[in-house]
Amino acid sequence: MSKTYRRISDSDQQSIIKYVSDLAEKNGEVLSWKLLEKKFGFTRQAMQAKPRVKFAFQNAKEAIRNEGKVSRRIGALSHEELVKKVEELEGYVKQLEEREVKWKQRWQRIAYNLRKKGLQVVEVDSSPAGGAELPNHQEADKILRLVDDDEIPPPLS
């Protein structure tokens, strides 16, 4: 006997989130994944796999626990602010991924040119002889800046 499960659609997610939010506002209601499983027919695992549903559930549990007061950690940012922050972070990740591709291509060129000169990357990428110390981060940054053509994107604040 095979059970068939339907996928959680966006409208299902909205319904679950609204129900969970309403329970949090009523305060005193019991909120559990079992209750949601019975009401909506999805497994706990399926609902927890949806970040918006999971966030709404955690937010509601905390609001119920704190008698309707949402913690500053969860309630400090509005939905729009969170969406904006996610978009910023996605842009930053994209910049870093592009830099990684360029970095890999650059090191492939370096490895190719080393081999052309009769050297192996292992020979060049070894610890300094005689126990000499490598330059610290700031010194290495100054040296690499001379040969680097692109700046590393600044961290987001």
Give pLDDT tens digits for 61-119: 887 777 755 555 555 567 777 888 888 889 999 999 999 999 899 888 888 888 999 98
Residues 6+ apart with CB under 8 A from 154: none
pTM of the model: 0.44
- Number of Cβ atoms within 10 Å of the Cβ of 53: 23
Least confident of 9-18, 25-34, 87-96, 115-124: 25-34
- Burial class, 93, CB count within 10 angstroms (exposed 0-12 / middle 13-18 / buried 19+): exposed
